[in-house]
Structure 1
Amino acid sequence: MTDPIRSTLPLPDYDHLPIGGLESRVRSLTEEEVESLLTYEQAHADRLPVTELLSARLEQLRTGAEPTSGDPGALRPEQGGHRTGSPVSPATSPQPFSPPPHGTPDQRGKPKGDRT
């Protein structure tokens, strides 16, 4: 079920934006739009870095800053760079190794005997 408030947010796919992309894209928003994002964030995920970012931008707007175009090249989830899965492959895996000399939980180490 889709949250009706989510569909009215000023940034599409807001919940999926990385903080680096959000920082740039929020620069194009008005004071009211940033307030709506901050209210939404506090009511939902309440991520500290995001609330700090939005609060700082809101303060800038209240002290006279103007919305700018932001960075259109900012990271967006809809852009490429779909890095999913593990970067580990047989080519990047380490060589197999023997268990440590003290043993493993299923293979106990053997005592060295009396060393006096």
Structure 2
Amino acid sequence: MSDAERDGLPLPDYDHLPIGGLESRIRSLGAREVEDLLAYERTHADRVPATEVLTARLDQLRSGADPSGGDPGAVRPEQGRGRTGSPVSPATSPQPFSPPPHGTPDQWGKPKGDRT
């Protein structure tokens, strides 16, 4: 399949889509689009998990299931927009409440007592 044909697939960057994201992304596709992806998969990577997911969805559609809403070109979690969460820095880190039992370079550990 040429680049132009690959660009015509119903899911952008299908070749780089992980199996975990495939099942939810094909929910918005019709039977013809799923058939196109299945044919492409079988002639290229032929990944068993991918063909199983596509075949199962195609069977559902042929049995009367309707495509659900969604955008097959939407931002995918696997293409995250960068780092998330709170930044960690010395300014946001809590102050230690006591030194470890072995001490620190500026504060020696305390002896356990007389062990004679």
Matched residues, percent identical? Answer: 61
- Give the aligned partner of residue 65 of structure 2: 65
Superposed counterparts of 1:1-116, under 5 Å: 3-70=3-70, 75-76=77-78, 78-80=79-81
Aligned residues between the structures: 80
Name the structure where helix makes up a greater proportion of residues.
Answer: 2
Change (3 A) 1:3 1:79: same
TM-score by length of 1: 0.61
Comparing 63-72 and 6-15, the one that deviates more: 63-72
Higher relative contact order (CA 8 A, sep 6+): 1
Shift of 1:79: 2.3
Q: 2-side partners of 1:46 and 1:81: how far apart?
A: 31
After superposition, the C-alpha distances for 1:21-74 in whole angstroms (9 at most, x for unaligned) are 111010000000000000000000000000000000000000000000258675
Q: Distance in 1 between matches of 2:6 and 2:33?
A: 13
TM-score, scaled to structure 2:
0.61
Is the alpha carbon distance of 1:34 and 1:12 closer, same or farther for their aligned partners in structure 2, counting shifts above 3 Å?
same
Stretches of structure 2 that go unaligned for 5 or more consecutive residues are 84-116
> Based on CA coordinates, which of the two structures has the bigger radius of gyration?
2
1:4 CA displacement:
2.5
Letter in 2 for 1:5: E
Q: Are 1:30 and 1:67, in contact at CA under 8 Å, matched by a contact in 2? A: yes
CA spacing shift, 1:19–1:12, aligned 2, 3 Å: same
Give the letter for the 1:75 counterpart: P
RMSD (Å), alpha carbons: 2.2
Is the Cα–Cα contact under 8 Å of residues 28 and 69 in structure 1 kept in the other structure? yes
Q: Which runs of 5+ in 1 are unaligned?
A: 83-116
